[in-house]
Amino acid sequence: MIAPPIAALASPGPCDCVADRPHLALRRDGIAIGLGVVAIDAFDVVAGNHRYEAALKLKWHELPCKIIDVDALHMELVEIDENLIRCNLTPAQEAAAISRRKAIYEELHPETKQHVAGAHAANRVMGRDASDNLSFASETSKATGKDKRSIERAAARGAALGDDLSDIAGTSLDKGVELDALAKTSEQDRKSLIERAKAGENVSARRQPKTAADPLSDASATEKQVARLMSAWNAAGPEAREEFLTRINVPVFDRGAAP
């Protein structure tokens, strides 16, 4: 554990989740844990960015740090997990983060993307279960504490919406139900909705429920009923018309006598 001056630390960017309550951020996570940093040209913070931001706001001069020896992909993976665990991401931000995490995971573990069935079969023959090793959702759940179902849902949203997620974040479309609805719209309609949302308009990708039509006036209702009678008359043959006229001429009080 080292304690470099804060000025020597390089942060990946502001962390909104501690903007208003830096004391809680430091107290909740326990400063004794220290930050995870990578020593390259400077001490790059890869785990604990929210604690770093909190310390800046509190005007601390140094922070305990632990040097982590990782490559670029693992470093990005740590940063993503830190955000998934610590920050209150919006649905669009979470989908983008988990989508990127999945891409990194598949690059680091290509067997999870291809030949999965063969790997499962081979492990079954040897009496091992490859599920935990090959499941992105299971591994991410263990790393972040999020349940598998929410991870799979976020990954599906990320796969469907891709780069559009950055434009959706923070708009009226940044809700789970809206992301799911956007994924089902045409690309043209989606782009139009996103542009309107980015401009500040309160839009929705969900189908609006049909509202009941205004009730017909007496005259309109009568006209529609006459039109239906005329349509039925025009569709009837000569014998049916003759029978109809016979029945319709039976007096109301004797209508029960009609066959």
Q: Which CATH number fits the domain that encloses residue 23?
A: 3.90.1530
Q: Is the pTM of this model over 0.85?
A: no
Q: Is residue 224 part of a domain?
A: no
Residues 106 and 193 reside in one and the same domain: yes
Residues 114 and 148 reside in one and the same domain: yes
Condensed to tens digits (0 to 9), the pLDDT of residues 221-239 reads 888 888 888 899 899 988 8
Q: Is residue 246 part of a domain?
A: no
Residues 93 and 181 reside in one and the same domain: yes
Q: Is residue 13 part of a domain?
A: yes
Residues 49 and 101 reside in one and the same domain: no
Total domains in the chain come to 2
Q: Is residue 241 part of a domain?
A: no
Residues 117 and 39 reside in one and the same domain: no
Residues 35 and 132 reside in one and the same domain: no
Q: What is the pLDDT of residue 133?
A: 45
Q: Is residue 111 part of a domain?
A: yes
Q: What is the pLDDT of residue 63?
A: 66
- From 157, 179, 198, give the residue that closes a domain: 198
- From 198, 218, 241, give the residue that closes a domain: 198
Using a 10 angstrom Cβ sphere, with 0-12 exposed, 13-18 middle and 19 or more buried, the burial of residue 64 is middle
Residue with tokens 């931000």: 93
Condensed to tens digits (0 to 9), the pLDDT of residues 166-190 reads 999 999 999 999 999 999 999 999 9
CB 35 within 8 A of CB 12: no
Residues 56 and 113 reside in one and the same domain: no
Look at residue 65 and give its three-state secondary structure.
strand
Q: Which residues of the chain have pLDDT under 70?
A: 1-51, 61, 63-64, 66-70, 113-134, 208-216, 249-259
Q: Is residue 51 part of a domain?
A: yes
Residues 52 and 114 reside in one and the same domain: no
Q: Is residue 96 part of a domain?
A: yes
- From 70, 98, 122, give the residue that closes a domain: 70
CB 64 within 8 A of CB 34: yes
Cβ neighbours for 10, distance < 8 A, ≥ 6 positions apart: 42, 43, 44, 45
- Which structural domain range is residue 31 located in? 6-70
**Cα separation, 130 vs 218, whole angstroms:** 71
CB 101 within 8 A of CB 154: no
Q: Is residue 94 part of a domain?
A: yes
